Structure 1
């Protein structure tokens, strides 16, 4: 969904484990979006009643199920010297800064509870909504651009150009380097994932689910028609409107940008797959 007035784009520079979303997604930020989206979800309390910067609770179901028997990530031995999750902001902040640069880090990243917010945001991308409370990035100025009205209301062609600087950053980042940093900090991402409500863990398996969901995003040709039943814009095509939150973000970027992001995601996935090892099957214990 998109809003006509006072919207800004969020550059989802969710680096490291967000290797999959770094500079990849620009979000349409709107006033009161959280209250509007959550109130439309049955049984979910309004965001106004939640504490500041909360971890977004999960809804368990088939789409979130990750088998503990799936291949496990090979983590370097140096991960044993990591700080605790509660005191990890400085270390992960320096790692992210080393990848995207000091200026970009200061401009985009919210340096508080970074790993927790990265995990929460990624976990929500395949859902219908990705609430803004836990985004690990700052909004950047820029209005969502539309053209036409009524039956011709559509995403403006010029809207895609706003993503060009972020695509340049994205394409300059090597998959191997990003995944290397992700591996170094992986135990903390796994801990945050368990604390989010998945005691069996395997966050990397969830990450691969997120990547696959983004890769499956529709690739509509321009013009992408919109509707405005209330305050927010929606996709006029019901198939596009039923897509996941992450897929909708990709489609808003324009076809060429979406395809460029998907190409980069495939590189990240290929690099991740090289670090997986099968979980050995359990066998009956034999007493000596």
Structure 2
């Protein structure tokens, strides 16, 4: 029988808080381990006792400026768009924008969601799209629950909308919005890291999402908070650890069903090709072609 319930693959608030604190503690631990390993090797080979002490040189500051990764996918920007809502309505139509998108603070929503799709959590609070109507459906057969085929129907209108968008027009809009997107990405604490590189990285991750041969098996777990809610907070997670360990964006693709997943991955592949194609050749004027 089908089971409808509030859907969210297993959240882990503690993990999320650790992630938001950044890479400081993991990086510190890695540096300490590396220092201990090097020190142990030097002691073992007799390096410390074989060399004569040198006089101390002038003090040198150990604080170095952070090294930002090189830009991998430079983007040819177009004249910037100031009215984001109008640009979206021109591309998608007013009805589709009202139905599917959250246009307020759109650049911030886009960069935060793209970045989170490649991580363990992707909070719906910052999504640039409206949440899908209805509730997640699972099909139970005895003790086994799997993704329901009927669940894919919830996402089909969104998939159909995305398929109708011209990749060139979508990327042109992205290029015109890029200054705002890059600034929003920096405001998230990303420094001068290049947002387009992160977008391509996340697209590649989504394209690598496996398509299960059979509907994935699910299991329920309950989170009981201190407020004593009379109904346990029931959630779903994948039984297969290799699926449960996927990123938030990859698990979103899986819950859409295999047909929707294939169609969205095909769209993403076309968009990726457009993103990394480089500058387009200038079109010749009609007079020059005579």
Matched, 1:68 2:84: no
How big is the alpha-carbon RMSD for the aligned residues of Structure 1 and Structure 2? 2.7
Residue of structure 1 in register with 2:56 after alignment: none
Match of 2:198 among 202, 206, 225: 206
CA apart distance, 1:113: 0.8
| Structure 2 runs not aligned, ≥5 long | 28-66, 223-233, 281-290
Match of 2:92 among 89, 100, 108: 100
User: 1:257 and 1:42, CA in 2 relative to 1: closer, same or farther beyond 3 A?
Assistant: closer
Distance 1:218 1:66 in 2: 32
Higher mean C-alpha displacement, 175-184 vs 267-276: 267-276
Q: Is the 8 A contact 2:73 2:196 kept in 1?
A: no
CA apart distance, 1:168: 1.6
| Structure 1 runs not aligned, ≥5 long | 8-27, 46-56, 84-90, 278-288
- The within-5 A match list for 1:150-229 is 151-229=143-221
Larger radius of gyration: 2
SS of alignment partner, residue 129 of structure 2: coil
CA apart distance, 1:160: 1.6
Q: Is the 8 A contact 1:72 1:276 kept in 2?
A: no
Distance 1:129 1:270 in 2: 27
Distance 2:259 2:135 in 1: 20
Distance 1:115 1:69 in 2: 20
CA apart distance, 1:150: 5.4
TM-score (norm: length of structure 1) = 0.71
- The within-5 A match list for 1:217-256 is 217-230=209-222, 231-256=234-259
Distance 1:177 1:186 in 2: 14
User: What is the number of residues matched between the two proteins?
Assistant: 226
TM-score (norm: length of structure 2) = 0.71
Match of 1:110 among 99, 102, 125: 102
Distance 2:174 2:116 in 1: 19
Q: Is the 8 A contact 2:120 2:246 kept in 1?
A: yes
Matched, 1:261 2:264: yes
